[in-house]
Amino acid sequence: RLHTAQRAIKQTQVTVQKIGKEIEEKLRTTATCTGRKKERECMLLRIAMMQNELQRQRRALSREVDLRQKERTQLQRKEEAFSVQYESLKEENEALSKLQKECTAKREQFLKANAQLTFRCRQLLYELSYIYPIDVVNQADYVICGVKLPNSEDFQAKDDGSVAVALGYTSHLVLMISCFLQIPLRYPVMHKGSRSSIKDTITDRLTEKERE
């Protein structure tokens, strides 16, 4: 019986050791599975986070693409507007160049005509000296067309007829010079031959009759 009991104990010990090894093996397997599950869950979590980040970046990229597209459209519109403005400016520049040439030509014509007009005025003024010759007698008296024109202080002592004729010549001469030189007279001259007169339109205190 003792031997039988010892064999039974040994068999039981062997069985216990075997079962213990199996338990340890299962525990190791379980720990390995648990670690793998943990790693898998971590990887799934990282994948989910990366997918969320990817979607966020895609949305941001889509917004950026839309923004760039809008900017590109605006740039194209501005480019078209600038192109139209450039063509318009080019046409205006060509028109301005043409006008400058025309203006230069007209200026040359004006200078030429002005020179001719000045020359003609000189000719007419020179001819007036033959039409209404003025001479000085005794270094004091003036004679126009052979008629003596006295100073205003000597009117009372002279013949009214000759004075009127001389005044008519002088008034016509002054009017012609004013017309040729395009210079308005301070005191208007009314040429009526020997009845010519000069009108004072500046002095306030004169009556209408006293103005002539």
Q: What one-character-per-residue DSSP string does 116-172 give? A: HHHHHHHHHHHHHHHHS-EEEETTTEEEETTEEE--GGGGGGS-HHHHHHHHHHHHH
Average pLDDT rounded to a whole number, residues 113-128: 89
Rg (C-alpha) for the chain, rounded Å, is: 62
Confidence class for position 41, pLDDT limits 50, 70, 90? confident
Spatial distance between the Cα atoms of 167 and 194, rounded to a whole number of angstroms = 7
- According to DSSP, the residues that pair with 134 across neighbouring strands are 144
Residue 113 has pLDDT above 90, yes or no: yes
Confidence class for position 194, pLDDT limits 50, 70, 90? low
169: exposed, middle or buried (Cβ count in 10 Å: 0-12, 13-18, 19+): buried
pLDDT for 102 equals 93
For residue 210, give every residue at least 6 positions away whose Cβ sits within 8 Å of its Cβ, in sequence order, or none: 200
Average pLDDT rounded to a whole number, residues 27-49: 79
Average pLDDT rounded to a whole number, residues 37-42: 79
Given a contact cutoff of 8 angstroms between Cβ atoms, the answer to whether 189 and 175 are in contact is yes
pLDDT for 136 equals 83
**Tokens linked to 208:** 């209408």
Average pLDDT rounded to a whole number, residues 161-170: 80
Residue 130 has pLDDT above 80, yes or no: yes
Percentages helix, strand, coil for the chain (3-state, rounded to 5) are 75, 10, 15
| Inter-axis angle of helices 160-181 and 2-131, nearest 10 | 150
Higher pLDDT, 19 or 45: 45
Please give the share of the chain, as a percent, with pLDDT higher than 70.
83
pLDDT for 67 equals 92
- For residue 117, give Cα distances in angstroms to 173, 181, 184: 19, 10, 18
Amino acid at 34: T
Spatial distance between the Cα atoms of 59 and 70, rounded to a whole number of angstroms = 16
pTM summary value: 0.49
Average pLDDT rounded to a whole number, residues 190-205: 68
pLDDT tens digits, residue range 54-111? 888 889 889 999 999 999 999 999 999 999 999 999 999 999 999 999 999 999 999 9
Average pLDDT rounded to a whole number, residues 156-173: 75
Confidence class for position 16, pLDDT limits 50, 70, 90? confident
Given a contact cutoff of 8 angstroms between Cβ atoms, the answer to whether 191 and 175 are in contact is yes
pLDDT for 2 equals 64
